[in-house]
Chains A and B, each alone.
Chain A
Amino acid sequence: MSKIMVPLGPQHPALEEPESFNLLLEGERVAASQVCIGYNHRGMEKAAESRTYLQNVYLLERICGICSHSHSTCYVQTVEDLAGVEVPQRALYIRALIGELERIHSHMLWLGIAGHEIGFMTLFMYAWKDREIVMDILEMLTGNRINYGMNTLGGVRRDVTPEMADKIREAVGQLQERTEYYSRVILGEETVYLRLSGVGKLSKADALRFDTTGPVLRASGVGRDVRRDDPNGIYPNLDFQVITDDHEDVYGRTVVRVKELLESYKIIRQILDQLPDGPLTVKVPNRIPAGECISRYEAPRGEDIHYTRSNGTDKPDRVKVRAPTLANSAAIAHMLDGGYLADVPIVIAAIDPCFSCTDRMVRVTDANSGQAQSMDWESLRRYSAQWYRKQGMDFSRIPLR
């Protein structure tokens, strides 16, 4: 049978963000695949170097729309560590609360997307309808549905009042009921099972070899979770389970996410019960002492890592972000190989990809010679100024910030 090359992306209805997958098809089967990321470079790390530590909280929060709290918490932890401040307990509890609410909304969103990818629009509508419950709670607590702006250096910006705690308890009760319904009805629907099970196989050994993280890794039977293995904040005080599953396929990843929702409800109830009194913030100086720090955080999609180096001024010297999708995207090609074309969208979606968070570099390739080269900041700027001058625009006089 002759093989054909199908480019899936950079623009494709199955993909929420631009990224490209080149599939070599043999009939309906994928013979080989190639993952190309890098369509979404936004220069955030560079931008972070020209903003103050406080401004960067809001900038880095916008790395990802879904796990925005994860990124801002992870960054704030590095800065607080560098400044050597002790964050109040109440602030840590509220941070963890928002983090868990965010995990719920991310997993609910994923469930809907999974339904969309396998053509089950009812699941999409229902999951997103129930997601509104947690979105309303987040809006009530923080003011926004996403990009909460809850974190600030040295604490959180808004308090949780007792009335709000009651509302959260009520909403968590509703959500728990709905989640149990999903695990009973959706995971019991035969067509869903047919589409998910045995798809995108990733054995335990492969999951470790490709350095996957988050639900993808846990669905391959490896119980690795930063909240338990390297806890920060108040996670040591909480009682929860790290969910694992040994299906090693997309069905397993669905099961892991649904069960993690139930664990999150448990965590939220504990947080609300244990919430101590006290101040919300502690003063953090504008100038952060020189040093470097790395911080890990269990985002809904997996382990998020932030690295910050300070040079004693009010702006960081270097900020480096390793989003969970970068770790997981290496395994995509392996999971696609040998599968069906019809399964490609759900396999990609099953890692809960967020390619905007991932992209950190652009490779400049000469269109004529095909040669790639790496450029530093200055030469890239010179190149772009020249390029624009050819188009009749002169940007070279705009000062660099």
Chain B
Amino acid sequence: MKFFGKIAPDLLAMLGKKTDTVLYPQVKTPVSDRFRGALKFNKERCVGCKLCTRVCPAQAITIEKVADKEFKAIVHMDKCIFCGQCVESCNKDALENTNNFELACSDKSSLDWEI
């Protein structure tokens, strides 16, 4: 059956209910355990195979040798598409995704992370 204002009673019922939106910066909703956020690099586990560099679809990660058996990762978080393929490809679990998604910043160069 069709008539004008069919939804109005349900709207009035909404007045007493808790809102579904939150004031974001003050209130944060949780992210899932599987969420793929900013990368974390465990340098003690890296063996420098550079598989992550090769599989990355966005060329966002490079591994550099610092000293003997010691490596550092240069991650361009602005290029990263957060697919998590590097984490999955790494045989030594040297890379992992954190649940940090708040990467917005006003200076693009600060997204080039050396970790």
Contact = CB atoms under 8 A, between A and B. Distances in A.
Indicate if A touches B (C-beta under 8 A): yes
Interface of A: 51-52, 54-56, 58-59, 62, 122, 129, 132, 136, 139-144, 147, 149, 157-158, 185-186, 188-191, 193
A185 B83 contact: no
Chain A binding surface, main DSSP class: helix
A185 B34 contact: no
Contacts of B20: 129, 132
A140 B33 CA distance: 7
**Interchain residue pairs A-B with the least CB separation, the first 5:** A143-B34, A55-B57, A58-B57, A58-B83, A139-B32
Given A59-B57, A122-B11, A185-B10, A143 B4 contact: no
Interface residues of B, number: 27
B55 A185 contact: no
B113 to A, nearest CB: 20
A185 B6 CA distance: 6
A117 to B, nearest CB: 17
17 contacts: A54-B57, A55-B57, A58-B57, A122-B7, A132-B20, A136-B32, A142-B34, A143-B35, A143-B84, A143-B97, A144-B35, A144-B82, A147-B81, A149-B36, A185-B7, A185-B10, A191-B4
Contacts of B10: 185
B31 interface: yes
A143 B36 contact: yes
A53 B6 CA distance: 52
B108 interface: no
Interface in B30-71: 31-36, 55-58
A287 to B, nearest CB: 14
Interface of B: 1-7, 10-11, 20, 31-36, 55-58, 81-85, 88, 97
A139 B99 CA distance: 12
Most chain A CB atoms below 10 A, which of B1, B85, B88: B85
Given A51-B57, A143-B32, A144-B36, A149 B84 contact: yes
Contacts of B81: 58, 62, 147
Contacts of A54: 55, 57, 85
A55 B58 CA distance: 8
Contact of A190 (B4, B11, B32, B35): B4
Contacts of A189: 2, 4-7
Most chain B CB atoms below 10 A, which of A54, A58, A132, A193: A58
Contacts of A157: 84, 88
Contacts of A129: 20
Contacts of A56: 57
Contact of B7 (A55, A140, A144, A186): A186
Nearest to B55: A54
Contacts of A158: 34
A157 B3 CA distance: 49
A54 B83 CA distance: 11
A139 B6 contact: no
Given A59-B57, A122-B11, 12 more contacts: A52-B55, A55-B85, A140-B33, A143-B97, A147-B81, A149-B85, A157-B84, A185-B7, A188-B2, A189-B4, A190-B4, A190-B6
Contact of B83 (A136, A140, A141, A149): A149
Most chain A CB atoms below 10 A, which of B7, B35, B84: B7
A399 to B, nearest CB: 14
A103 B33 CA distance: 23
Contacts of A132: 20
A51 B5 CA distance: 54
A188 B7 CA distance: 9
Nearest to A60: B57
B49 to A, nearest CB: 15
Contacts of A51: 57
A47 B5 CA distance: 51
B12 to A, nearest CB: 12
B85 A58 contact: yes
A300 B86 CA distance: 30
Most chain A CB atoms below 10 A, which of B34, B35, B85, B97: B34
Contact of B31 (A62, A139, A147, A185): A139
B60 to A, nearest CB: 11
A142 B6 CA distance: 38
A122 B6 CA distance: 12
